[in-house]
Amino acid sequence: MKICILGNSHLASLKQGWDQMQPVPDVSVQFFGSRQRGLQALDRVGTELRPRHAALARDLTFTSGGLDRIDLQNYDVFVLYGLMLGLPGLQQGWSAAVKQQACQDTLGRSLAGELLRKIRAASDRPIYLGHNPRPARRNQQALPAGSLNYPQVFELMRREVHALGATLLPQPEQTLEDNRWFTRSSYSTGSVRLDVGDRISAERHPDDDLEHMNADFGRLYMTRFLSDLRQPGQG
């Protein structure tokens, strides 16, 4: 099975985790990454995603180990990870229509949603979306009163992603705490910048960065994903 994973800065944890898992029989993973919204400059030409400028071509070549474009025909499964796809904060008292619209807006504004449409236009292979990891909790921060919790928001987002022909991946349950809304702080410690071959590559994030996760998180995420993928009816 050949898996293609595209992502931004959050991709670093998955790449580190995957490296720790080697060897994994019968599975190959090709990573393509660029920080922030870099992958927005991918244009679909036939069955390929091609970079619009040289800087993105360099990022793709470095993160993939030599490929400056993505031939969609070469992969069995696609994963779009991070890419500005967060989970919206939703209130219990809001109407179903408002909650749905908030989820649709979140997906529509994300780079993940944009790339999903480009890939789906040229491939019928399974596409999975992994939302940004939930941030680690700051001090004694708690889920705001009246807010929907992680399983409730995830289910609403899952429906919107499914409507576009893809599957939303949950964050591994063991990485979450406090009503499963925050990531355990142990998984945000020691995270590093996505390695694209420049001077800040693989540099450790500041200690107060609660958004990015480390290699332990990435290993758990990849392990959970592969386990689900191998279940009957998945992938």
Domains of the chain (ranges, CATH numbers):
2-230 (3.40.50)
Peptide bond into 23 cis (omega under 30): yes
pLDDT digits 0-9 by tens, 131-155:
999 999 887 777 888 999 999 999 9
Mean pLDDT computed over 60-65 = 98
User: Cα-Cα-Cα-Cα dihedral of 33, 70, 30, 88, to 10°?
Assistant: 50
**Cβ within 8 Å of residue 157, ≥6 positions away:** 87, 88, 103, 106, 107, 131, 168
Residue (of 4, 8, 158) closest to 77 by Cα position: 4
pLDDT digits 0-9 by tens, 155-204:
999 999 999 999 999 999 999 986 678 999 999 999 999 999 999 988 99
∠ CA 204-216-180 to the nearest 5 degrees? 105
pLDDT over 60 at 232, yes or no = no
Per-residue confidence band for 233, with pLDDT thresholds at 50, 70 and 90: low
pLDDT digits 0-9 by tens, 75-119:
999 999 999 999 999 999 999 999 999 999 999 999 999 999 999
**Cβ within 8 Å of residue 154, ≥6 positions away:** 87, 168, 170
